[in-house]
Structure 1
Amino acid sequence: MNHKLFIAKLDFKPELNRHQDLSILLSKDLSLPTAKSLTKFRENFNNQLKLGKIFFETPDAKYYFAIITPNQIPKNYSYIKFSNLSENSTPDYKIILKAIKILGYKI
């Protein structure tokens, strides 16, 4: 079974008093961070990972909310603005949408 992480970053500009951009941590192929075990995630994220609850499950995967220290991003990952993602280019797009809605963000 795979374990996948939803890690979001919200850029906020206080001078404008509003949220600017929601970014999601994704791999080079625009997939959510994925590993066969939670231990592997802890290794990849240098033990800076804080797991939240499981927000979705399939027979093959469990999807978790997670938080990481911003400067501890593994080399193969980067934050991508949600507005730059599409269903065609992002394998986990529907799951990302589900997570965003659970968190209460308007898209």
Structure 2
Amino acid sequence: MASTSLRQQLSIMKQSFFDEGLLDHEQVSYLETLENEDDPDFIENVFTLFLRDSSRYINSIEKALETNPIDYPVMERMMYRLKGSSASIGASKINGETNTLRKAFHDGDMER
């Protein structure tokens, strides 16, 4: 009984991620098709790697901004990686914010 209730709550939470645009339903559905009996933890592993790597990318971007002069090549590389990894898991909002940051960077809207 409690297990059914938890499954329902999880399903509602997952749907809210899609409804709020945090995750792209199509991309997550695709990732779910890749999970099988040979790799039953595929999605968990993909999201764990994303969280680990995105934290590292953001940290590198922050450090690049603190250097004098700003380390633009590192910023560009880390923004590109963050954009790619967020797109690959369907993290729509992160991908959108990264695109906005990259556009500001390329348009020269960032302090130099």
Instruction: Confirm or deny a common fold (TM above 0.5).
Output: no
TM-score after normalising by structure 1: 0.23
Larger relative contact order (Cα-Cα within 8 Å, sequence gap ≥ 6): 1
> Which is strand-richer, 1 or 2?
1
> Which is helix-richer, 1 or 2?
2
